[in-house]
Amino acid sequence: DSGVTQTPKHLITATGQRVTLRCSPRSGDLSVYWYQQSLDQGLQFLIHYYNGEERAKGNILERFSAQQFPDLHSELNLSSLELGDSALYFCASSVDRAGKLFFGSGTQLSVL
């Protein structure tokens, strides 16, 4: 167990809908990263938050947004869902911006 908690583990929804994925980092970790893993594209970096502030963006769609709350948990919001958004979404945390990454077990999103 990495200490990073992601909920829910599985999510099935329909096209056009909106979902929220939640991540609780390891105790003491200030950085939270979100990644998308699909079969054909591997692990894609989406966004990074450090101590409540957005620090870096990757190839994150405008339909996606995220935030990190004062208690350091983070949420990834996906809206106007499309079939192609079906993927495994990982959250990872680290103690700062350079420390070892610890991944959560992921949320498997299926858009039907």
Interface residues with other proteins (CB under 8 A)? Answer: 2, 31, 33, 41-45, 48, 55-56, 58, 90, 94, 96-101, 103-106
What is the closest distance, in whole angstroms, from the C-beta atom of residue 58 to other proteins in the complex?
Answer: 6
What is the closest distance, in whole angstroms, from the C-beta atom of residue 14 to other proteins in the complex?
Answer: 25
> Could you give the CA distance from residue 66 to residue 83 in angstroms, rounded to a whole number?
20
Q: Which residues, other chains included, contact 112 with Cβ-Cβ below 8 Å and sequence gap of 6+?
A: 12, 13, 14, 15, 83
Q: Is 61 exposed, middle or buried (0-12, 13-18, 19+ CB in 10 A)?
A: middle
User: Which residue lies nearer to other proteins by CB, 12 or 56?
Assistant: 56
What is the closest distance, in whole angstroms, from the C-beta atom of residue 88 to other proteins in the complex?
Answer: 10
User: Which residue lies nearer to other proteins by CB, 45 or 79?
Assistant: 45
